Structure 1
Amino acid sequence: MTTRRSWDAHLAVGATGMIGSRNAAEAGKRGHEVTGVARSGKDGTLAADASDADTVARLAAGHDAVVLAVSPPQDGIEAAESLPEVGRGVLDGVRRAGVRRLAVVGGAGIPEVSLGVRVVDTPGFPEDALPPVRAQVTLFELVRDNADDLEWTCLSPPAVITSGECTGAYRTGDHQLLSDGEGNSHISTEDYAVALVDELQRGELTRRLVHVAY
C-alpha cells in the first residue's frame, strides 16, 4: 500500500497564468496530482469561477492543498472588486472542503522598501500598474486577517519576474524587499515556482508573508 504524502494532491486555481502555469508544471514534475482550474478552462484546466465558494469546495474536496495564483484584471475597478471576491470564495471554499493548506501567489507591490513603506507606495510607482497591484495587496491582507484557522503562506515575487532559466536557486525573506548586489530585485517564474512548491511540501513558513527573490 502506498502512503500519500500530505502535499501529493493540490488544486491549482489560476493554473493558466504566467506564474500559475509554472507552479503547476513544477508540482507535476515532482509527482503532485495537480488539478488545474481557470476561469477560461483552457490548456486542459477545469473552467470555474473561484469566487464561488460552493464551486471551490466541490473542486477542492479530496485535495491536500490549494494554490491560489489568480492574476488580477488590469482594469482598475474590476481588479479592486474581483480579486478580493476570489479570495473570499477560496477561503470559504477550502474550509467547506476541509482543506487546511493554502499557498497564495502574492504581488510584487507587497514587500517593504523601508519600514512601513511598501513597494506599491513608493513615489514614482507607475500609475497604470497601481490598480492590479493594490488589489493583490488587498488579497494578501484579506488572507492575513481572516485565515488564522488555515495553514496559509503568501509568497510575494520581487519587482521583476519573467520567464527564464530554472536554476533552483532563490532566497526568502519576510516583509523587506530583497535585491542582489547591484540593487536588482528579480527572479524567473521557474525559480519562483521552485520556491512555492518547496514551501508547499515543507510547510515551514505558515501564516506569514514570504518574499522570494535571487
Structure 2
Amino acid sequence: MRLVLFGATGFAGGKILREARQRGHEVVGVARHVESLAEPKEAGSLHDEKFVLDATAGADALIVAIPGRPMPDGTKLFDAVPTLFAAAARRGLRIGVVGGAGSLRVVDGGPRLIDTPEFPEEFKPEAGAHAEVLAALQEAPAGVDWFYVSPAANFGAHAPGERTGSYRLGGDVLVTDADGDSSISGDDYAIAFVDELERPTHRRQRFTVGY
C-alpha cells in the first residue's frame, strides 16, 4: 500500500511509520518539519487542502496522527476534517485517525473517561478536541471510509512500553486488564493500527486497543 502519514514525527505517528515500512508499505512521512525523517517525506500541513490533495495522489490511505488541541497558529485538527473528507472523495482513499482515550466509556453505559473525577485537567483540552473529531467522522458523508483508533488510558511518550506483539480490541469502552489497568505500548498500538490498514474490519468505526 501507499500511505501518507501526517504527524510522522510524533510519538504515535513515528511508531506507525516504522511499523508500516517494516511490513513493506510505501509511507510518505509528512510533518511541518521533516529534517529527522527518512525519505519519502514532505513538509506540509493538513490544513492546506491543495497540499493534501497533491500529497495523496495515488495513495491508498491517509493517516492522521497529529494532536487535537490548537496549534500555535490557532488551527486545530477539527478544522481539517472537511479536507479529510475532500481527500477521501477525490482520491478514493481510506482515512485512519490516531484518536484519544478520553471519549471512551469506563464501563458499558458509564461515564466517559474525560468526565471522571480522576481525569487530569491538563489533558482535557486535548481529549475534548479529539472527541470533536470523532463526532465529525461519525457524521461523515456515506462514501467516506474512515477508522479511528483510541489507545488505552496509559499511552504516549511518557509511557512508551515494550513491544509484545499482542493486544486486545474493544469498541467504545476502555480496555483494561485483570487488575483494572488500561495501557498499550507505542509499538503494539502501531501493530494494531497497521493490522487494520491491511485487514479492514472497522469501516466507519471507532475501536480501541489495550492489553
The question of a shared fold, defined as TM-score above 0.5 by the shorter chain, is answered with: yes
8 A Cα contact 2:101 2:150, kept in partner: yes
What are the residue-to-residue correspondences of 1:179-190 with 2, within 5 Å?
179-190=176-187
Report the counterpart of residue 163 of structure 1 in structure 2. 160
Report the counterpart of residue 23 of structure 2 in structure 1. 30
1:82 is aligned, of 59, 76, 85, to 76
SS of structure 1 residue aligned to 2:142: coil
CA drift at 1:90:
2.3
For residues 154 and 89 of structure 1, what CA distance do their matches in structure 2 show?
A: 16
2:117 is aligned with 1:130: no
Q: Unaligned stretches of 5+ in structure 1?
A: 1-7
For the structure 1 residues 10 and 75, does the alpha-carbon distance in structure 2 shift closer, same or farther, using more than 3 Å as the test?
closer
For the structure 1 residues 50 and 77, does the alpha-carbon distance in structure 2 shift closer, same or farther, using more than 3 Å as the test?
closer
Structure showing the higher helix proportion among its residues:
1
For the structure 1 residues 127 and 27, does the alpha-carbon distance in structure 2 shift closer, same or farther, using more than 3 Å as the test?
same
CA drift at 1:86:
2.5
For the structure 1 residues 75 and 121, does the alpha-carbon distance in structure 2 shift closer, same or farther, using more than 3 Å as the test?
farther
Q: Unaligned stretches of 5+ in structure 2?
A: none
CA drift at 1:27:
0.1
Report the counterpart of residue 95 of structure 1 in structure 2. 89
Q: Which amino acid aligns with 1:201?
A: E
The two structures have a TM-score, normalised by structure 2, of 0.90
For residues 26 and 106 of structure 1, what CA distance do their matches in structure 2 show?
A: 18
2:190 is aligned with 1:193: yes
2:205 is aligned with 1:208: yes
The two structures have a TM-score, normalised by structure 1, of 0.89
2:46 is aligned with 1:50: yes
Q: Over the residues paired in the alignment, what is the CA RMSD in angstroms?
A: 1.9
8 A Cα contact 2:84 2:95, kept in partner: no
Q: Which amino acid aligns with 1:93?
A: A
CA drift at 1:10:
0.7
Q: Deviations over 1:125-168 (max 9, x none)?
A: 21111111100111111111114312211110010013222111
8 A Cα contact 2:70 2:77, kept in partner: no
For residues 173 and 206 of structure 1, what CA distance do their matches in structure 2 show?
A: 14
Q: Deviations over 1:158-182 (max 9, x none)?
A: 1001322211100001001110011
For residues 70 and 49 of structure 2, what CA distance do their matches in structure 1 show?
A: 24
SS of structure 2 residue aligned to 1:23: helix
For the structure 1 residues 58 and 118, does the alpha-carbon distance in structure 2 shift closer, same or farther, using more than 3 Å as the test?
same
8 A Cα contact 1:172 1:211, kept in partner: yes
For residues 173 and 150 of structure 1, what CA distance do their matches in structure 2 show?
A: 22
2:10 is aligned with 1:17: yes
Q: Which amino acid aligns with 2:183?
A: H
8 A Cα contact 1:67 1:104, kept in partner: yes
Q: Which amino acid aligns with 1:53?
A: E
CA drift at 1:203:
0.8
Q: Which amino acid aligns with 1:195?
A: A
Q: Percent identity?
A: 36
8 A Cα contact 1:154 1:208, kept in partner: yes
CA drift at 1:73:
3.9
